[in-house]
Amino acid sequence: MGTTNKELAVRSDQVFIGTYTRYPAAMVKGAGCRLTDAEGKEYLDFLAGIAVCGLGHCHPAVTAAICEQASKLVHVSNLYYTEPQTELAELLTAHCFADKVFLANSGAEANEAAIKLARICSGEDRYEVISLAGSFHGRTLATIAATGQAKFQKGFEPMPEGFAHAPFGDLVALKSMITDQTCAILCEPLQGEGGVRPLDLAYLQGLRRLCDKYNLLLIFDEIQTGMGRTGTLFAHEQMGVTPDIMTLAKALGNGLPIGALLTTKRIAAAFAPGTHASTFGGNPVAAAAAVATMKVMLADGFLAEVREKGNYLHAQLQTLVARFPTLALNARGLGLIQGLLLTEAGVQQGGAIVNRMFAKGCLINFAGGVALRFVPPLIVSCEEIDQMIGLLAEVLAEVAGEI
């Protein structure tokens, strides 16, 4: 049924609860790093469904896996074994520290499972999880309690007990917060929603030492940084720090909803039948998509190319810092999650910059109220990076001329 962007927006707004501020475009198709709206306008996508479409839109291998599996079996619940989820779990454990996997539907569900596992594994008197200021871990009550940003908690008080937030990057302060009730430390190796803020290597190594000393579980939320985003399959591989529990989602299914908790055999033993579950977790179609996604990412040279293109994107963003010192302070990130940290004047224009890029046919966003965030599909080309940089330079020149 043909429609315009505006017509579909009107229809949608009449029936959907207003939890989203949407842009005035109805996306109808995508291919690679491009999206097309209902009126035929094309967009260069440097947001990738918020770091979800790691292989771009409608990747042939993923599309074929989805169609093939959907023609055979869509859902049976976890009362029965299925081959796609078994193959996915085998792939995941073969390429990380973990022995065991729990499959869920989303990042929030994966983090919820991690919190529950940390508590039940540590014993009933140890239940507190320390996370970091600026973090983002999901939208359930437990995961917004773990999230270190008050704006996500406003209106939902009182928060569930058992969560504390340490200052970002301050190991001494975090150590002082550990009590007899602490069971785990939860953090993202790089904060995405917090403004593309990487944690210092020495800090992450310090977290590992604290967890070992005080018998705590180290949980890495790699929902945004995992699945090749930083140039290795998982970000912590670059840091020489191994967690006890890791959570994944976003790019795992290249667009289909799936999340995962990964851990060791010893820790996993704390979960028994009935302690945790997910009706749709590891759905055969979503799992088949994830298997196809992993196979592409694990192919020779794929992750090396991500690192090369990440370095290129970072360097190109740094040229904008030099050109627009009144708006941009620095470029930061790992691989193909990069941020352009803005000055105080730039921050005031952050939303306007994103809107102007949208009008020019390029999708980015403003993260943590401090940085423009760029998370293109991992298959992005240097030519597409150049195109985005050119458009952003145009927008920054316009904004700089107005302030």
pLDDT of the chain along its 403 residues, tens only?
568 999 999 999 999 999 999 999 999 999 999 999 999 999 999 999 999 999 999 999 999 999 999 999 999 999 999 999 999 999 999 999 999 999 999 999 999 999 999 999 999 899 999 999 999 999 999 999 999 999 999 999 999 999 999 999 999 999 999 999 999 999 999 999 999 999 999 999 999 999 999 999 999 999 999 999 999 999 999 999 999 999 999 999 999 999 999 999 999 999 999 999 999 999 999 999 999 999 999 999 999 999 999 999 999 999 999 999 999 999 999 999 999 999 999 999 999 999 999 999 999 999 999 999 999 999 999 999 999 999 999 999 999 988 7
Report the alpha-carbon angle 188-193-199, nearest 5.
35
Q: Is 158 exposed, middle or buried (0-12, 13-18, 19+ CB in 10 A)?
A: exposed
- Sign for the CA dihedral angle at 340, 341, 342, 343 comes to negative
Among 243, 239, 368, 389, CA closest to 309: 389
Put residue 180 in one of left, alpha, beta given phi > 0 → left and psi -120 to 50 → alpha.
alpha
Encoded tokens for 180: 């007899």
Token match 């709206």: residue?
37
Beta-strand relationship, 42-45 and 100-104: unpaired
Put residue 372 in one of left, alpha, beta given phi > 0 → left and psi -120 to 50 → alpha.
beta
* Distance in angstroms (rounded) separating the CA atoms of residues 208 and 311: 28
* Distance in angstroms (rounded) separating the CA atoms of residues 100 and 91: 11
Q: How much is the pLDDT for 403?
A: 75
Q: How much is the pLDDT for 21?
A: 93
Q: Is 238 exposed, middle or buried (0-12, 13-18, 19+ CB in 10 A)?
A: middle
Q: How much is the pLDDT for 2?
A: 64
Q: What is the DSSP string of 270-320?
A: T--TTTS--SSTT-HHHHHHHHHHHHHHTSTTHHHHHHHHHHHHHHHHHHH
Using DSSP, state whether 263 is helix, strand or coil.
Answer: strand
Q: Is the previous residue joined to 189 through a cis bond, with omega within 30 degrees of 0?
A: no
Strand partners, 340: 331, 372
Q: How much is the pLDDT for 402?
A: 84
* Distance in angstroms (rounded) separating the CA atoms of residues 285 and 272: 26
Using DSSP, state whether 313 is helix, strand or coil.
Answer: helix
Q: What is the DSSP string of 153-185?
A: TTTSPSPPSSEEEEPTT-HHHHHHH--TTEEEE
Q: How much is the pLDDT for 296?
A: 98
Whole-angstrom CA distances from 402 to 195, 280, 343, 396 are 25, 51, 15, 10
* Distance in angstroms (rounded) separating the CA atoms of residues 144 and 365: 21
Encoded tokens for 315: 């360097």
Taking a C-beta distance cutoff of 8 angstroms, is the pair 258, 105 a contact? yes
Q: How much is the pLDDT for 1?
A: 53
* Distance in angstroms (rounded) separating the CA atoms of residues 4 and 66: 29
Domains for the chain: give ranges and CATH numbers: 5-58+301-400 (3.90.1150.10), 73-297 (3.40.640.10)
Taking a C-beta distance cutoff of 8 angstroms, is the pair 293, 87 a contact? no
* Distance in angstroms (rounded) separating the CA atoms of residues 340 and 351: 13
